[in-house]
Amino acid sequence: MYRRDALRLLGALTLPRFVFADSPHRKIKSIGLQLYTVRAALEADFDGTLARVAAIGYREVEFAGYFGRTSRQVSASLRRAGLVAPSAHVPLDALGSQWEGVIENALAIGHHYLVVASSGTVPDLDGYRRIAERFNAAGNAAKKAGIRLGYHNHDVEFVPIAGERPYDVLLGATDPNYVCFEMDLYWITKAGADPLSYFTRWPGRMELVHVKDADPAPPHRMTDVGAGMLDWRSLLGQGTKAGVRHFFVEQDEASDPFESITASYTYLRDLRF
């Protein structure tokens, strides 16, 4: 009896890992925050706000502006707070003549990604193809310095133009060696598109995500993560399999930003997928 039990146990231990792949034991190793959520507090008290973010439990942050601080000052503030900033948002215009300086500042702070926050108003698909060309050129320059260029979506990229979604055009026209994507899971869902299908169709392209929830009823307002309609176990599980490396909580217009980011952090901290 003992021998049979021992052999059964040994057999279980030597089964391939994929047998257990669907068991909910994974979690986000390092939960991040897009600092746009606490932008007013940052402007009033930069170091104090970073300290409060770290005290909640966040270990990664993504910047959306530095509020007049130099790269050296930002780096020092991060060290004091015990945070790292793998990513920062930049405007599309930053990809022009000042791009080399933007990259240098990013390296000084410790960023690994620079993410274009929005494409602005683009009238047609040819406009998106021209943007993709800019991304490829800027991404090539960034890669030589050790930086990945990314693109962050809103809902407009999923509204078809001439039968095609602009997001699909950007994915198809950008070189994966130079350009990755930061999928905003709120905006793609609000637009009526399926993020899971994009993880399946474009593995490896989405290296970052914005973790934002939505109320179930129209107009699908943003809400704290776990309080809305999004299926986070499926999204995070499939996203991880598809190559997502960084997960940034964001709430654009929270009435109490710190209460919101605390609730979202607590939900994600305890979530297994």
pLDDT at 12: 34
For 270, counting Cβ atoms within 10 Å of its Cβ (0-12 exposed, 13-18 middle, 19+ buried), the class is exposed
pLDDT at 2: 38
pLDDT at 21: 41
Global confidence as pTM = 0.90
pLDDT at 189: 97
Cα–Cα distances in angstroms (integers) from residue 1 to residues 4, 7, 8, 10, 124, in the given order: 5, 10, 11, 14, 72
| Token representation of residue 62 | 């993504």
Contact between residue 200 and residue 238 where contact means Cβ atoms under 8 Å apart: yes
Query: Please, what is the Cα angle at 231 between 273 and 34, to 5 degrees?
Result: 85
Architecture in CATH of 28-270: Alpha-Beta Barrel (3.20)
pLDDT at 24: 67
For the chain, give every domain's residue range. 28-270
Contact between residue 198 and residue 241 where contact means Cβ atoms under 8 Å apart: no
From the first residue on, what is the mean pLDDT of each consecutive set of 10 residues in the chain (273 residues)?
A: 37 32 75 98 98 98 98 98 98 97 98 98 97 98 98 98 98 98 98 98 98 94 97 97 98 96 98 95
pLDDT at 25: 80
